[in-house]
A = this chain, B = another copy of it.
Amino acid sequence: MDAIHKKVGKNLQAVRKSRGLSLDQTAELTGVSKAMIGQIERGDSNPTISVLWKIVNGLKISFTSLIEESKTEVTVVETERLEAFEEEDGAYRAFPMFPYDQRKGFEIYAVRMDPGCSHESEPHNEDVEEYIVVTGGSLEVEVDGETYAIGAGNAVRFPADQPHAYRNNTDQVTSYITLIHYPS
């Protein structure tokens, strides 16, 4: 699922078969060897971009159609099964629930912060926005010198192209969901 070249292989084979083309015919149309096309379809090879370019142009299809997920599938994620990025000696734990997807332009983490934990984040690039929904405990967010207290069930959004910090001043674990949106 995550291996891009396998996705490309599936998509390519889908296009080829939907047109009733053989490997030989496809090789003729694209200028890429039959063996290579077969390997790409099976996921046995990691095509260079030049080869993909030839295929795309020979078949008169878009580049995107090869790298796109054929359909958006149901994806169930269990936080406990994810491997967290830990910071602050494990007191700050970020679980990548939906990793960055360049077609969507955002990523979603579930974060847990132990009592007393404080975490500073490097500024992101311009026009990057962060959305936070606190799901448990209470969170202090500091942006541009201002501090905002967000209780469970509440949310905040802020431009993340500047240094910002998260603090859990309570005596219980605070959890929140954060969505980071990158400009297209």
Could you list which residues of chain A lie within 8 angstroms of chain B, going by C-beta atoms? 3-5, 8, 19, 46-50, 52-53, 56-57, 60-65, 67, 99-100, 102-103, 105, 125, 182, 184
Contact = CB atoms under 8 A, between A and B. Distances in A.
Contact of A46 (B49, B99, B125, B184): B49
A108 to B, nearest CB: 13
Contacts of A65: 184
Given A62-B105, A64-B64, A125-B19, A100 B57 contact: yes
Nearest to A184: B62
Nearest to A4: B53
Contacts of A4: 49-50, 53
A83 to B, nearest CB: 16
Contacts of A57: 99-100, 102
Given A47-B49, A48-B49, A60 B103 contact: no
Nearest to A50: B46
A19 B125 CA distance: 7
A20 to B, nearest CB: 10
A50 B4 CA distance: 6
